[in-house]
Structure 1
Amino acid sequence: MTAQRACGVNDVAVSSAVKVELDGIAVAIVKDSAGAIHAIGDTCTHGEISLSEGFVEGDAIECWAHGSQFALATGKPMNLPAYEPVPVFEVTIDGDDVLVDVQNPLTQQ
């Protein structure tokens, strides 16, 4: 695994997201409503909007511009207008650090 530090665990509040850039890839680090941390591609596949500026509900993130929701575990859109998934990246928690491997996505667009 080629994971690198994305942020601190406490840098992301429950039901919110922050945008980071790792190896030139925009990634949304998301803490779902249960407190689990996910890493997904930050760009909505419908309108090229930053997903980290959207809304986190349960285990999904919603694009603020057009309302498409993406499952945090799979990156798949849950409703239109988006129909292409966003990539999902492996997350490892090391102490207070969130490590993300952007070189080997778990799922891809």
Structure 2
Amino acid sequence: MDKRPLPAIIRRLRRALEKQGVSAPRIVLFGSWASGTAHEGSDIDLAVISESFEGKGYWERIDILTAAVYEVFEPIDAIALTPEEWESGDSLIAEFAHAGEAV
């Protein structure tokens, strides 16, 4: 699949997150889009790394991401991580996302 629409989608996601008070200086693309195996119907796997997630529980993070993805209205599957969680890579998803690319 052609990655050309991704920068615009990422910009829209960042703006949607900023409306909720979440700064997202680092977003990492992983999964089929990063590996070049995406096909029509593939979702866009993103790790959103932000200090804004500090002190927020799992469900609060899900609510934030869900609202942002709903606003962008693209097939995005996102995970929310703090920089510390990203660096420690203590979750299987974070470990998998480390093979991705910053966007």
Q: Tell me, yes or no, whether TM beats 0.5.
A: no
Hey, which of these two has a bigger chunk of strand by percent?
Answer: 1
Which bracket does the TM-score occupy, shorter chain normalised?
A: under 0.3
Return the structure number with greater relative CO, CA threshold 8 A, min gap 6: 2
Of Structure 1 and Structure 2, which has the larger fraction of its residues in helix?
A: 2
Normalised TM-score (structure 2): 0.27
